[in-house]
Amino acid sequence: MNNQLLHQLLKNCYSYNNRNAFFIQDTFYTYSEFAQKIAGISEALLKFNCPQQTVFGVITTDSLETYASIIALWINGYVFVPLSPVNSIERNQSNINQTEIKNVLVNSLKGVENVQLKGIAYIETENLSSTNHIENNNTDLTNILYILFTSGSTGKPKGVPISVKNLETFLLSFLKIGYQLNHEDKFLQIYDLSFDASVHCYTLPLFLGGCVYTVPPQEVKYLYAYKLMKEQELTFTKMPPSTLSYLRPFFSKIKLEKIKYMLFGGEALPLNLINEWQPCVPNSEIHNVYGPTEATINCFCYQLPSTIVKQFNSVVCIGKPFGDSLAVVVDENFNILPAHQKGELCVSGSQITEGYWKNSEKNKTAFVALKLNNQSFNFYRTGDLVYFDEQNDYFYCGRIDNQVQIQGYRVEMGEIEHYARMVTNASQVVALTKENAEGILQIFLMVENDQQETDEIKVYLKEKLPAYMQPVKIIAVANFPLSTSGKVDREKLKEML
């Protein structure tokens, strides 16, 4: 590899200059317009005279400027950290503090909320443009491209740095799976830019010279995504299963014949949901993809066959590792287990981050050296309970710890409990999940204090946590049931929901 990602992306800006690069809020933008934005922002960045690998925040919006800001940072060797409007002020401030951000890019200061800019230099990108040729100055594959933050059980999110090598390995390995894609294809981008799946949904089309079709955050996601798929005849889509669930009442009326590939990831894929959806996309291959942020977006893929789909407890199989990704299943003592034995999934390879951002203590527990064929590899512990069969297909069985996937986001239930404890006088708080009638996983909070005012908790959690981590209901009870070992009986608590 020799930085093919950024080289090819910039080459496409000129090779496909008159082709559409983005469709944002009903407006098309060409690769030429995109290149001019990148060049204008890049020139403004250079005036800061910062060394490579300086961390920059980007207040993300659904705009050409935001995407151009990301690429401008990358080609100059800077590190992108999203500061998302869907995050609380406290979460964005935590991201700023942890990465010591001193400079921020923002489309416009008008309407900027959830980010404190006191003491931070900023560039407004709305009117920046240049016709000068842009070059890639980021040639070191070990350079970090971005840092995304995942939920932390102590209330402090963990920063995951992803390098040029990590992302480039993912993209090239993903394409080698066999996807027949090129500059004619149209790609859906439904994700908030603080979620790693978004990186897949804009870098893949830009790498190929295709067009990115974005979903504005103020819109009803599933309805707007369907509108794009139908009216713009998209050919490649990726979304969380829970988003698709909202379309379920309309399945009988949906027929999307142009979609070539439909990917699902970020949470367990229910078999019954996908069985009902398949007739809606008669010409599409459906793939279930899996991977933690620490392994750069996805490292497993399972193409659903036309006949019997592999599944465990009605959850679709996650398939095999792709590229140079390695996978093992281990017990609590890190002994590698054979087929059909459940244990923790550990993954290794060129897509794996070298460690959490300035968090040596967490790195000691999250990464482990294991030997395969007398060779030592550094493995990331996913915390997922899995097993594999004789064909080396892996099956997701749940979480070993108390972490779940909500709307495609990975959530530490302990983080919700952490903030709930801070605002209550309860001796115990427990966050639980339960599927609603549509099969969508929802969060509930149980508080061991029947005198507790739940509205106070709701207000506090809205200040501290993003929307997808908000409990749909808070239940106060006098006493929690206990198991025979004296621990809180979570199963009995679930029966109260």
343, 373, 399 — which closes off a domain? 399
CATH no. for residue 360?
2.30.38.10
Q: Is residue 111 scored above 70 in pLDDT? A: no
Give yes or no: residues 453 and 409 share one domain. Answer: yes
- 246 vs 192, 412, 422, 451, CA distance in Å? 18, 24, 34, 36
Mean pLDDT on 74-84: 96
What is the share, in percent, of the chain residues with pLDDT greater than 90?
A: 69
pLDDT at 427: 59
Question: Is 311 within the bounds of a domain?
Answer: no
168, 195, 218 — which closes off a domain? 218
Number of domains in the chain: 3
- The whole-model pTM stands at 0.86
Give yes or no: residues 349 and 438 share one domain. Answer: no
Tell me the pLDDT tens digit for each residue of 120-132. 999 999 999 999 9
Question: Is 238 within the bounds of a domain?
Answer: no
Give yes or no: residues 21 and 157 share one domain. Answer: yes
Question: Is 463 within the bounds of a domain?
Answer: yes
pLDDT at 408: 81
Mean pLDDT on 484-489: 56
pLDDT at 181: 98
Model confidence at 358, pLDDT cuts 50, 70, 90, reads very high
Question: Is 263 within the bounds of a domain?
Answer: no
Question: Is 262 within the bounds of a domain?
Answer: no
pLDDT at 112: 73
Give yes or no: residues 418 and 393 share one domain. Answer: no
Give yes or no: residues 22 and 35 share one domain. Answer: yes
CATH no. for residue 192?
3.40.50.12780
Question: Is 76 within the bounds of a domain?
Answer: yes
pLDDT at 485: 39
Question: Is 254 within the bounds of a domain?
Answer: no
Give yes or no: residues 204 and 95 share one domain. Answer: yes
158, 189, 218 — which closes off a domain? 218
Mean pLDDT on 397-418: 81
Give yes or no: residues 375 and 417 share one domain. Answer: no
Give yes or no: residues 28 and 126 share one domain. Answer: yes
Q: Which domain holds residue 421?
A: 403-495
CATH no. for residue 423?
3.30.300.30
Tell me the pLDDT tens digit for each residue of 136-189. 999 999 999 999 998 766 667 899 999 999 999 999 999 999 999 999 999 999
Identify which has the larger pLDDT, 154 or 497. Answer: 497
Mean pLDDT on 314-329: 96
Give yes or no: residues 107 and 184 share one domain. Answer: yes
Give yes or no: residues 360 and 445 share one domain. Answer: no
Give yes or no: residues 326 and 450 share one domain. Answer: no
Tell me the pLDDT tens digit for each residue of 416-456. 888 888 888 665 788 999 988 888 889 999 998 888 888 99
Question: Is 234 within the bounds of a domain?
Answer: no
Give yes or no: residues 187 and 335 share one domain. Answer: no
Q: Is residue 2 scored above 70 in pLDDT? A: no
Model confidence at 486, pLDDT cuts 50, 70, 90, reads very low
